Amino acid sequence: MEKRICENCRIEINENDKYCNNCKFPITGDEKEKNIFYAQQTIQKEKIIKAFKKIKIARVIIFSLSILFILPALTNSNLFGINTLIHRFFLGLLFLGFGLYSLIKQKPAFLILLILSVVFYFFILYINDFKGTFESFSQVIIILFVSYGYIIAIITDKIFKRNKYLFDNLIKNNQEDRIKL
């Protein structure tokens, strides 16, 4: 059987294929169909770049939180008691670790951080006899930030998976600074 090459992604295609298996290019389509394909690709590419930016912001939030946790412990701040400082210090290290992990796998990393934040919230309530304190209040804000990150991770993950070919291509060529992880 004669082998042909997809004119969009240059991968080998079978003679009878109507669409490229790799990039979904309409091989047997007319000019109009091909132009629609290229237009859609441009739109999807912009979507992916926007998603990259959003996930970057979510990661910056996670790293900022880890610094917020770790710094008071290092500077011996009196804002929290010594026990809380130790707890926060370790939580900060966990945030740092999972922030780095989110560079590889974003969805599970944000989910684990969200669970950790909620568990820590109940831990704070527990050690304060379930009375609302400044700490428990600040922990609610942290949960909100991490939830935001998790929602962003879910949305961007969908966009990346739906456009796997474009996504891989952008990563591989690393053409634009805007998509650097």
In the complex, the residues that contact Zn ion under the rule CB under 5 A are: 6, 8-9, 20, 22-23, 25
Q: Which is nearer to Zn ion, 21 or 133 (CB)?
A: 21
Of 146 and 166, CB closest to Zn ion: 166
Using the minimum distance from each CB to Zn ion, give the nearer residue, 11 or 181.
11
Q: How far is the CB of 6 from Zn ion (least distance, A)?
A: 3
Tell the smallest beta-carbon distance from residue 8 to Zn ion (Å). Answer: 5
Q: What is the DSSP string of the chain?
A: ---EE-TTT--EE-TT-SB-TTT--BTT--HHHHHHHHHHHHHHHHHHHHHHHHHHHHHHHHHHHHHHHHHHHHTT-SSS-HHHHHHHHHHHHHHHHHHHHTTT-HHHHHHHHHHHHHHHHHHHHHHTTT---HHHHHHHHHHHHHHHHHHHHHHHHHHHHHTHHHHHHHHHH---GGG--
Report, in Å, the least distance between residue 28 CB and Zn ion.
Answer: 13
Nearer to Zn ion by C-beta: 6 or 114? 6
Shortest distance (Å) from residue 5 CB to Zn ion: 9
